Amino acid sequence: MSLNDNDNNVDSSASDDYNDDLTFEGLLSSNTWTEYFQELANTFAVELCGYNPDGIELFLVNENPICKYSRSVQSDSLDCPNSCHSVMKAEGHTIFTCQAGLTCFSFPVKRFNEKVFIVGRVGFTEYDDFQDFLKTVRDNNLPELPITEPVDFLEKNAVRDISKYMYLSIERQLSTMEAKYKLEERLLRMTSLFDSQAFGTLSKNQQLLYRYIIDAIEFVFGKASASVMQLREDEAVYKTIYSAGKYKNIIADLTIDIHNPSVNNMRNTRGAVFIEDAVEVLAAGQLREMESAYFLPLFLGEELDAVIGIFDREFSREDRKILNSFREYVQLNLENQSLRLAVAQKSKTDEKLTSLSDITKSIVSILDKEKLFNTLLEKSLQLINAEQGSLMIVDHETSELVVEARKSVDDMVQEHMRVNKTEGISGMVIERGGALLVEDIEKDPRIRKVNRPRYRTKSFLSVPIKIEDRLAGVLNLSDKIKGGVFNAEDLNLLESFISNVAIAIERSILFRQTEKLQKLSITDHLTGLYNRRYLNRRLAEEITRYNRYKHPFSFIMLDLDKFKEYNDTFGHIAGDNLLKNLAHVMETSLRTIDIAARFGGDEFVTIFPQTPKIDAIQISNRLKEKIDKALRGHNAEMPLSVSVGLATFPDDASSIMDLIEKTDQALYLAKKGGGNRVVYL
């Protein structure tokens, strides 16, 4: 049953990364990609479409009004889009002028031996091209042009830059998707190799089983020198029982003492061990030419039964996670097989064990956080026939447990409810780092609490969720569907299940942390408004938008009058509260398109997009009135007010720094004039 007999290679066909039924043409014309192309086209105000090599249109977004007109009249003099098909044979970026005189670009995108041409129709680059188009319309007695807005003219160099940017963006998006699918596909390949029937057959022949494990690793990661070492209690060593790869003969005699530091490490952490210099750990001369070693432990219950060794091979962090997940998967199947043999007479238990791997695979593939946690809770309840439960995840910043999923007969436990992680039964599980199996909550010496009315039975299970060595949360289950108490078999099932889906939980937690860090990098920690880093980026975007569309925008700088005196009188905590209240008033008073940010200290700024000075003056005065009203009610002992400086781009400035300086000058004049006013240049 060697996998190598199939002559398959995980990297031989990248098309496996996608749905087998979806071609490259089908992928780019899917709803997800059409939305992506729509965003690209809107960004640069171009028509974007895709064709296969036969000229068949795959998608079209943001239709150019000139192209739309040319298509509608169906004239030989304006043969659109057929006049563009001549570029379908070009290999690189092509800038060309179509029959209507529009400057267009084209480039091919290739994947999986398929090619798709992306064509962008921008507009006229010369006024003469536009005049020629109008002449063609008149000479051929074509219908009147339904165009009411001014026509923009874009230089060919700009069109070339847009073409290159779109090509790089599409290639980057495709590469990101390929990398994501390749990682997921590797993990799915590893786990899909062992269905319950195959594993049951293999486990009857230990030599065949371990050979199959090594073949699975080679199948996904390529040729490797590897071995399986099993415990020999009479010799107090782990001894190779199967080896493969370039150094198979050397590895065949490999032994590791049961007291070896690496073995103790695996036994204590129940995790993999990577050794950069294997000679320091193994007996002298055992590995000779090989340097590194990667050991994956296989446990049966609490006993370290065998060790998978992969030698002289480096793995990326992602590959190590996949290998460890595969090791846990194999270990889970070994444990399940052992349980099957122990409870063969109990058919219902056997059915649960048979379906456990399928349940695990269905959860590992879920990416959405809310769906993942709810599915995990639901499958856990099904697994041990329980009615009620909750899944709680640790928030390490607040030392609280957050309820991420629940199923109960009342609303006592709410989703997203927070409890101190040192309190209650869940807190006990976190502190102990081990599971709680309670048959009777009122008699168990660890608990001794009166059972609450919302629970039908007095028995429950609380299992810690561990990611590697870290405690990440607690799973609580109660009320057997048919009454009765939970037992060790239920606990073993639940712990095996939770251990095997830990990689999915970790991925969800890491994703949330990444989102939070991204938000923190652009917001002010005190007020929650945007910070200067984000402000500078938005100002640059607004200037770019002006250069393209000629829409002016305005900018204000707002400063609290007598803020230092207020701080000195009432203290810095009161000053911070005042700044937070001011930020809240700004957020609730501004338009949805406006951007408010904290500039520093008690200075706040706001961008008014697409807003000329005359409108910005009115908006600024209204904002000041609302702030004045809020300040009057804030502290009657010391009346407060604000000064506002205003400038407009490009009326008052030609760059970001110039705009900030001019606005600061206006604010200075407002303060110099006594404060409590709006001054504009």
Alpha helices in 343-473 (DSSP H): 347-364, 369-383, 424-432
Q: List the beta bridge partners of residue 306.
A: 230, 298
Mean pLDDT of 406-413: 76
- In degrees and rounded to multiples of 5, residue 495 shows phi and psi of -65, -40
DSSP letter assigned to residue 640: -
Lowest mean pLDDT among 104-108, 366-370, 489-493: 366-370
DSSP letter assigned to residue 64: -
- Quick one: pLDDT band at residue 279, thresholds 50, 70, 90? low
- Quick one: pLDDT band at residue 342, thresholds 50, 70, 90? low
Lowest mean pLDDT among 110-114, 566-570, 601-605: 110-114
DSSP letter assigned to residue 432: H
Look at residue 306 and tell me whether its pLDDT is greater than 70.
yes
DSSP letter assigned to residue 153: B
- Quick one: pLDDT band at residue 2, thresholds 50, 70, 90? very low
User: Taking the chain, what is the end-to-end CA distance rounded to the nearest angstrom?
Assistant: 82
Interval 615-652: pLDDT, tens? 999 999 999 999 999 988 776 678 899 999 999 999 99
Fill in the amino acid letter for 583. A
- Written as six digits, the tokens of 660 are 């900030």
DSSP letter assigned to residue 124: B
- Whole-number Å distance between alpha carbons of 475 and 437: 12
Domain segments of the chain as ranges: 15-176, 193-340, 368-511, 532-680
Look at residue 174 and tell me whether its pLDDT is greater than 70.
yes
Interval 659-672: pLDDT, tens? 999 999 999 999 99
HEC readout, 374-404: HHHHHHHHHHCCEEEEEEEEEECCCCEEEEE
Q: What angle do CA 437, 371, 520 make, to 5 degrees?
A: 100
Look at residue 313 and tell me whether its pLDDT is greater than 90.
no
Look at residue 351 and tell me whether its pLDDT is greater than 80.
no
Please tell me the predicted confidence (pLDDT) of residue 604: 96
Q: What is the CA radius of gyration of the chain?
A: 34
Half-sphere exposure of 62 (CA within 13 A, CB side): 22
- Whole-number Å distance between alpha carbons of 276 and 264: 17
Q: What angle do CA 485, 490, 492 make, to 5 degrees?
A: 145
Interval 444-469: pLDDT, tens? 888 888 888 888 899 999 998 887 67
Look at residue 14 and tell me whether its pLDDT is greater than 50.
no
Please tell me the predicted confidence (pLDDT) of residue 378: 87
- Whole-number Å distance between alpha carbons of 462 and 446: 13
Domains 193-340 and 532-680 share a fold: no
| CATH code for the part of the protein at 193-340 | 3.30.450.40
- Written as six digits, the tokens of 129 are 């091209």
Please tell me the predicted confidence (pLDDT) of residue 9: 35
- Written as six digits, the tokens of 159 are 């069109």
Please tell me the predicted confidence (pLDDT) of residue 377: 87
Lowest mean pLDDT among 17-21, 153-157, 578-582, 674-678: 17-21
- Quick one: pLDDT band at residue 397, thresholds 50, 70, 90? confident
List Cβ neighbours of 340 (8 Å cut-off, separation of 6 or more): 200, 350, 353, 354
- Whole-number Å distance between alpha carbons of 429 and 438: 12
- Quick one: pLDDT band at residue 190, thresholds 50, 70, 90? low
Please state the pTM of the whole predicted model.
Answer: 0.34
Helix (H, G, I), strand (E, B) or coil at 497: helix
- Under a CB-based contact definition with an 8 Å cutoff, are residues 245 and 224 in contact? yes
Q: Domain 15-176 falls in which CATH fold? A: Beta-Lactamase (3.30.450)
| CATH code for the part of the protein at 368-511 | 3.30.450.40
288 Rama sector, left if φ>0, alpha if ψ -120 to 50, beta otherwise: left
Lowest mean pLDDT among 179-183, 289-293, 405-409, 550-554: 179-183
Q: Is the omega angle on the peptide bond into residue 81 within 30 degrees of 0, that is, cis? A: yes
Please tell me the predicted confidence (pLDDT) of residue 619: 95
Q: List the beta bridge partners of residue 595.
A: 607
% of the chain with per-residue pLDDT over 70: 80
- Under a CB-based contact definition with an 8 Å cutoff, are residues 333 and 194 in contact? yes
**Torsion from C-alpha of 260, 266, 269, 272, nearest 10 degrees:** 140
Looking at per-residue pLDDT, the higher value among 195 and 370 belongs to: 370
Mean pLDDT of 584-604: 92
Total length of the chain: 681
- Quick one: pLDDT band at residue 146, thresholds 50, 70, 90? confident
DSSP letter assigned to residue 655: S
Please tell me the predicted confidence (pLDDT) of residue 12: 34
Look at residue 681 and tell me whether its pLDDT is greater than 80.
yes
Interval 486-527: pLDDT, tens? 998 888 888 877 776 666 676 656 555 555 555 666 788 899
Whole-angstrom CA distances from 211 to 25, 227, 300 are 41, 9, 19
- Quick one: pLDDT band at residue 196, thresholds 50, 70, 90? low
- Written as six digits, the tokens of 502 are 């830990």
Mean of the per-residue pLDDT values of the chain: 81
- What CATH class does 532-680 carry? alpha beta
- Whole-number Å distance between alpha carbons of 50 and 56: 8
- Whole-number Å distance between alpha carbons of 321 and 314: 13
Fill in the amino acid letter for 289. E
Please tell me the predicted confidence (pLDDT) of residue 120: 92
